[in-house]
Amino acid sequence: MKLKITKKEQAKKIKSRSKKADDKQKIILEILKTHGAKIYDDLDNGQFPKFSIPSRSVGNIVYDKQLRQYILGNNAALRSSRNSAQLRSFTQLMWLAFFANRLTTERKSSTLRDVYYSSQAFAVEFEDQSESDNIIVDLEAVTSRAREDFHIFPEERSSIFGDLNIEYTIPGYEGKTMNLANHPDGYSIGPSLTTAELVSTSAEIVIAIEKGGLFTRFVEEQVDKKFKSIILNTGGQAPRSTRTLLKRLHDEMKLPVICLTDGDVYGEHIAMVIKSGSANAAHLRELTVPDAKWVGVWATDIEKYKLPTIPMTESDIKRCYDLQKDPRYQDGIWKKELDVFLKLKRKAELEAFSKYGLTNITDKYLPQKLELAKSL
């Protein structure tokens, strides 16, 4: 669908979005500056510099029924340069704040892996990337801003396809438009797409699928046209950039979000994380779609459709018991299906519907589930 706007209107839109990006950049830099000023204040007052970091311990993570997601409580821990045991992590956090400031100022992007290797140029040591990633989460907790606001992103592994017109906002591409149905392999969900302006769509729903193989099948079978949908491959547990885009599609484009996962406890939890977030990201508020609906593959579908199954592992069973303690799995379809998984001790993949033909899942199962979603 072509966008009919004049050059003058286009220039005005670009200017407006550029100002919006500039304003956001100023806010992020001011946050970093404020925390940096506290370090200087400590030094001026003859004190050891320190950070107050919201505690991410299990005891400080609570489920907020109103927000319908996990949030951090009020407990905080002091990380001080005076404590020799904390000096390493304190220095790492100081360097990361400096690096985040540099990325934001220069408007350059970095992957999580880049952060790990970049530290070595400054003689800042991380034992491995997991330690580096953990310090990034500390910075998020301290500033109450997502790493993506500092231009730090994970490796891309999710993709999207469908009639959605976007307009890029990243430097060098401002004002350029793209329709996400233009490439049969879909488009990777990276920084440029996550931050793009969502202009228009003819879609009426978003279908988030756990697996790339089924994503390809849905594109081939033109699910986007048959069901007026945008198809999104989460690539397993959805990365935060993908969850951000799902939230934007729901909030800005007013599109319902439907989740399709493997018929196992991990698939159920993938849908729950899209809906209400994870305990690991309890310090962030902009990653959830509370109205998202999980429509399958349910444990009851395994019996109903007589799907080929494989036995649940001890790890699967343990995960079921763990989730039974989670307040989000105490009622409704979430509790019911978890109980049935434990009863069956079997699981099924989305591809199991191929037993009835390659297009059975799009021709029969999907229409039934989309209709059912209206009543969930």
User: Could you give the 3-state DSSP secondary structure of residue 320?
Assistant: helix
Closest CA to 153 of 206, 232, 105, 100: 100
Cα(317)–Cα(346) distance, rounded to whole angstroms?
A: 10
CA angle 282, 243, 231 (to 5 degrees): 160
* Crossing angle of the two packed helices 7-44 and 87-106, in degrees rounded to 10: 150
Give the DSSP H or E segment for 161: strand 159-161
Calculate the CA 113 to chain-centre distance. 18
Cis status of the peptide bond prior to 295, with omega within 30 of 0: no
Cα(374)–Cα(341) distance, rounded to whole angstroms?
A: 24
CB 347 within 8 A of CB 310: yes
Point out the residues that are catalytic. Answer: 117
Calculate the CA 206 to chain-centre distance. 15
